[in-house]
Amino acid sequence: MLETFASIFRIEELRKRIFFTLAILVVYRIGGHIPTPGVDGSVLTQALSGDSIFGLLDLFAGGAFAKATIFALGIMPYISASIMLQLLGAVVPYLQRLQREGEEGRRKITQYTRYLTVLIAALQAWGTAGFITTISSGAGVSAVHMDTTWFIPLTIITFTCGCIFIMWLGEQITERGIGNGISLIIFIGIIARFPDAVVEEVQMLWHGTRGFITEVLMVAMMLAVIASVVLITRAQRRIPVQYPRKVVGRRVFGGATTHLPLSVNSAGVIPIIFAQSIMFLPSTIAQLPYFRETDWIQNLIAYTLAPGSFWYSIIYALIIIFFAYFYTAIVFNPMEIADNMRKNGGYIPGIRPGKNTAQYVEKVLTRITLPGALFFAAIAVLPWVLIGQFGVNYFFGGTGLLIVVGVALDTLQQIESHLMMRHYDGFLKKGKIRGRSM
């Protein structure tokens, strides 16, 4: 293990990417502690403590939402914009053409995503600013210490600019660092809550608020979630592929038997992140001035879309399953795989090359995606029972652990790729993360 870490720093490009990523994450964490002008963070934190909806939102923002710092909105507006454009790409011909144009089309879609992010961030900032003006402590001390006429436009600008800056940081990590920048920003925001969550659990156990058996069950649940996520994330369905033997002069080429690895969870943690972003949207809209004064909307959010409630769990699970299939369809094209196999003379035994191969691969991929999607939906939803029944910290819920483990595995796999390209051993045996066959 020590030799592997030493190998990382022997590769100049990989070393620079890792240090660059760490530097960007440090900048993000520093920004998460810069307060928004005119807001009393202590009053806001006290008022929001125990609220399930805003507690979960604060988890994804790395604690910035409860303190109303300049990064209070986090990266969720950008994710919401990405979801909208990807969904529109399935029905809007212009966006479909851009998706097929390769790098140039991807740049245009990225630019449109940025514009939409600004719009969504401004709307969320407006609703959040109006919501903050209504908050006060038990002693009647308001969370805002300036005239609302100036506070709301100033806060809208501050939150929107903060979101745009986070978006830029994430793009820099993806381009010049290691790992997916947006996922890593969410990852570091969740990890930042770990020390406070542990201290809170220890204090509750020390003062007798939490029973010892409950803590043991919670730790066991966390270990089970981590182990099962690693197992399912690395699981593969390997389809045998045969390449015929070719004789060119006196040399023989091909004749090898290999396999096509299909991951049970091709979409990674993206469905979890997307689903959580969708679930945040109603509560965000409910904070806009018009909707905040509508009782039936507030009751709908409080009783049906509160984390841990029956309808929240059902809707959340269905959205996860939907995005598991949707994102898998985006990142994996069976027809392209079949065409590449046919051009190289490869074929699946018993399946004709071309269209039949694409249909077979799509059929297998559809079947193995379902259990993976159901598993992740169950892991994301079931721990809320512990949170609702026993008051377990949000950090230890299934959603947070799923994202942390998934992003860590994805980043580790990218580091493994850099090591293997330069003939270094990786973190696991034989220098690679093995996929589990199914």
Give the integer Cα–Cα distance in Å for 76 and 78: 5
Per-residue pLDDT tens digits for 247-296: 666 666 656 778 888 888 888 778 888 888 788 777 767 766 666 667 77
What per-residue confidence (pLDDT) applies to 432? 47
Give the integer Cα–Cα distance in Å for 323 and 319: 6
What per-residue confidence (pLDDT) applies to 23? 94
Reported residue count of the chain is 438
Per-residue pLDDT tens digits for 49-80: 655 566 667 777 777 888 888 998 888 889 88
- C-beta of residue 355 within 8 angstroms of C-beta of residue 310: no
Contacts of 161 (CB under 8 A, 6+ apart): 70
What per-residue confidence (pLDDT) applies to 289? 62
What per-residue confidence (pLDDT) applies to 162? 93
Residue 392: helix, strand or coil by DSSP?
Answer: coil
- C-beta of residue 301 within 8 angstroms of C-beta of residue 358: no
Domains of the chain (ranges; CATH) run 1-192 (1.10.3370.10), 193-438 (1.10.3370.10)
Q: Which residues of the chain have pLDDT under 70?
A: 1-5, 49-56, 138-139, 246-255, 284, 287-293, 298, 302-304, 306-308, 383-398, 422-438
Give the integer Cα–Cα distance in Å for 181 and 46: 31
Give the integer Cα–Cα distance in Å for 292 and 416: 49
Give the integer Cα–Cα distance in Å for 129 and 139: 21
Give the integer Cα–Cα distance in Å for 397 and 379: 9
What per-residue confidence (pLDDT) applies to 431? 44
CA dihedral sign of residues 344, 347, 352, 354: negative
The residue type at 203: Q
- C-beta of residue 166 within 8 angstroms of C-beta of residue 74: yes
Give the integer Cα–Cα distance in Å for 237 and 403: 23
- C-beta of residue 172 within 8 angstroms of C-beta of residue 181: yes
Q: Which of 329, 323, 412 is nearest to 365 (CA)?
A: 329
The pTM of the whole model exceeds 0.95: no
What is the torsion angle, in degrees rounded to the nearest 10, for the CA atoms of residue 101, residue 103, residue 108 and residue 109?
80
